[in-house]
Each structure stands twice: as C-alpha cells, then as structure tokens.
Amino acid sequence: MRQKNFAVIRHSAPITILAIESSCDDTSAAVVRDGQVLSNCVANQEAHRQYGGVVPEVASRAHLANIVPVVDLALFQAGIDKKSITAVAFTRGPGLMGSLVVGTSFAKAFALSHGLPLIEVNHMQAHVLAHFTESPRPEFPFLCLTVSGGHTQIVRVVDYSDMEVIGETLDDAAGEAFDKAGKMMGLGYPAGPEIDRLARSGNPRFEFPEPAVPGLNFSFSGLKTSILYFLRDQTALKPGFVDENLADICASVQQSIVRILLKKLRKAAKQTGIWQIALAGGVSANSGLRTALGVLGEKEGWQTYIPAFDYCTDNAAMIGIAGYYKYLRGEFCGQDAAPYARGFTG
C-alpha cells in the first residue's frame, strides 16, 4: 500500500531524487529535481593504482568511509536538506558485490529512516540515460554504444524503460583491453586515459588483427593476445622498443579498439535503420573514440550524441535521472531488494 500511495502523490510537489552510485571504485551521490541535476559529487579511490587494478575489498572499505561525506556534500551543493528528498535511487547492479552492498544498504537505511520510497537502478541502463542529464538529448528510438571497463554493448533504446541489448562482448570489454594493453606497456592504472593522452602525439602505424566475430557481438581477448605477442617479439629484437615507440604503440592500440567498436555500431545502424546514435560509459571519454564517432556520423548521416565528461564515467547523476523516470512510472522496490553483480535487467 505504501508504494501505491507514493505513486499517487508524486506530482503534488517537486520530485527530488537522492541518488547513490557505488558499483565499482567511485563513491558518488547526486540530487536530481524534476529531471534536472542539482549536484553530482564523486569520491575517487586512488588506492587501487598501487595494485594495477581495482581490489574489491579495498573498494568496499573506501565506500564505507566515503559515502556519508559524499551524500552530505551532494545535499549541500544542491542547497537542500534531507526533508526535501522525495525518493532514494540506488545502483542495484551490475558491479562489484561488496561495493554494491555498501550503496544499497545506505540507500535502504536512508529511505527507511525518512519514510521514503526506494528506486533500484540498473547501472548499464543508467549509462544510457546519462544522455538525458542535459541537452541535446537523443530522440527515441536510438542506438547506444555503451563502453566501460566491464561492459561493451550496443543497446536499442525505445524509451526510458524499454531497452534491448542487440550486441555485446563475448569476453573482455573495450575498457579492459585498454587497461591490459597499458599494463603490458608498463603504464599505470587506469591505463585508458594515459593511452589516450599518448596516442594524440603518436602515429598508428602498427596493425593488429581484428577478431572475426559474427553478428553484432564483440571480442577483445584476441586483440589483447596479439598486442602481447607483438610487444614480446619486438622487445626480443630490440629491448628498448616499447619506450622508443610508446606513443605510436598507444595510437595503434587505440585505433584498433575504436575501429572494432565503430565497425559493429555501423553494422547495427544499417540493420535497424536507426540513425540516432549515442555513446556512453567510461570509455566514451576517450578522445579518439569521440572524434572517430563524429567523423563516421557525418559520413553516414547520423545524429550523434556524447555526454559531457562528468557523465561518462560512473556517477550518481545518471542514477538519479534513471530514478526520476522510474518514479514517474511508479516503479519502486522494497526493503528486501538485494544487489546483483551481473546481468542487464530492469
């Protein structure tokens, strides 16, 4: 009965969503009012750099330390108090289980103590809806290439709640390919931004084979292996090869990953007849991918959309936007909602 009552009164006052994101190694909180982002705060976890990747236990402990200060800061920057909150949206999954438990538990406790409804949000769907944080916004239907450290998907988006994955990676994600290639070259974690920076001054003169994957699915494990063998063989011939050619290697790796992504996206556009094309996820911050999508979009006659950098990586604003549209439909969850580590569900 409580959920029905919330749905009935949802238009009697401004809809103010407190959003929590804790799927991986960034703790984020945001306030979204009537579909407008009032604040978006992120606490990054630098501790993982020394390990060369995200350590789940370290991430969970950092979320515990960060979540209350981040929420307080989000409320302060939005200029509101806790009594103004209408509902609490949180990332239920996918992600690291320990990290999700922290965010889910906080959201449930906050909602319970203030008598507020809960809204569960799928992290990957939120990346798609990050396009609705600000203008210009894509029109339905559109295709969204969602590329992050753990996921690579082509999603057909019919409306805010109707999404279908029509292509996805069969093994490594594009973000993983960037980070693992960077590690082979001796770059720190996360390697993706560093590869992007170095690639700007490099010449993509080294060729890596593209995976032969049917349909709209992706594969990056073979590319990762070919990079490994290439670096091994070249270093055996000339020990200083990587250091002397680092920018060119980065440019070549980046070009290969971008080419694979856009080749499948172009195929999806032709198959579906959809020319509204969006890019989302942490890897959408890559300058090479953003530029290449713009060039391909002009060639193909697409209308392309890329979120601002703040909304590319994991952030609570996209969770709040997704939560806002679920609020309008009266889609709430109970206190028994448990996080899930994998899967693309609504």
Residue 32 sits at φ, ψ, to 5 deg, of: -125, 125
Architecture of domain 136-307: 2-Layer Sandwich (3.30)
- For 70-103, how does the pLDDT look when each residue is reduced to its tens digit (9 = 90+)? 999 999 999 999 999 999 999 999 999 999 999 9
Q: Note the pLDDT of residue 79.
A: 98
Q: Note the pLDDT of residue 329.
A: 97
By CB neighbour count within 10 A (0-12 exposed, 13-18 middle, 19+ buried), where does 212 fall?
Answer: exposed
With a cut of 70, say whether residue 3 has pLDDT above it: no
Round to whole Å and give the CA distance between 96 and 93: 8
With a cut of 50, say whether residue 7 has pLDDT above it: no
Confidence grade of residue 12 (pLDDT, cut at 50, 70, 90): low
- For 324-334, how does the pLDDT look when each residue is reduced to its tens digit (9 = 90+)? 999 999 999 99
- For 235-248, how does the pLDDT look when each residue is reduced to its tens digit (9 = 90+)? 999 999 999 999 99
Give the amino acid at 93: G
What is the CB-side half-sphere exposure of residue 229 using CA atoms within 13 A?
A: 9
User: Which of 30-39, 142-151, 181-190 is modeled with the greatest confidence?
Assistant: 30-39
Round to whole Å and give the CA distance between 122 and 133: 16
Round to whole Å and give the CA distance between 234 and 248: 14
By CB neighbour count within 10 A (0-12 exposed, 13-18 middle, 19+ buried), where does 297 fall?
Answer: buried
Round to whole Å and give the CA distance between 45 and 59: 7
Q: Note the pLDDT of residue 13.
A: 85
With a cut of 90, say whether residue 69 has pLDDT above it: yes
Query: What is the arithmetic mean of pLDDT over 13-36?
Result: 95
Percent of the chain with pLDDT over 70: 92
- For 92-149, how does the pLDDT look when each residue is reduced to its tens digit (9 = 90+)? 999 999 999 999 999 999 999 999 999 999 999 999 999 999 999 999 999 999 998 7
Query: What is the arithmetic mean of pLDDT over 200-225?
Result: 95
- Range with lowest mean pLDDT among 5-14, 159-168, 211-220, 307-316: 5-14
Confidence grade of residue 67 (pLDDT, cut at 50, 70, 90): very high
Question: What is the average pLDDT score of the chain?
Answer: 92
Query: What is the arithmetic mean of pLDDT over 23-52?
Result: 85
Q: Note the pLDDT of residue 44.
A: 75
Q: Note the pLDDT of residue 56.
A: 72
| Spatial contact of 86 and 13, defined as CB atoms under 8 Å apart | yes
**DSSP-based three-state secondary structure for 156:** strand
| Spatial contact of 175 and 222, defined as CB atoms under 8 Å apart | no
Round to whole Å and give the CA distance between 93 and 124: 8
Tokens 């753990």 belong to residue: 150
- For 313-324, how does the pLDDT look when each residue is reduced to its tens digit (9 = 90+)? 899 999 999 999
51's CB contacts (< 8 A; 6+ apart) are 58, 189
With a cut of 50, say whether residue 346 has pLDDT above it: no
CA-based radius of gyration for the chain: 21
List where CATH 3.30.420.40 sits in the chain: 2-129+312-328, 136-307
Query: What is the arithmetic mean of pLDDT over 22-50?
Result: 87
Q: Note the pLDDT of residue 295.
A: 98
- What are the helix (H) ranges across the chain? 2-8, 56-78, 97-114, 123-129, 174-184, 191-199, 221-237, 241-244, 246-272, 287-300, 316-328
Q: Note the pLDDT of residue 143.
A: 98
Query: What is the arithmetic mean of pLDDT over 49-58?
Result: 68
Query: What is the arithmetic mean of pLDDT over 154-181?
Result: 95
Q: Note the pLDDT of residue 218.
A: 96
Q: Note the pLDDT of residue 331.
A: 97
Query: What is the arithmetic mean of pLDDT over 268-280?
Result: 98
Q: Note the pLDDT of residue 11.
A: 52
Q: Is the domain 2-129+312-328 a CATH 3.30.420.40 member?
A: yes
| Spatial contact of 49 and 329, defined as CB atoms under 8 Å apart | no
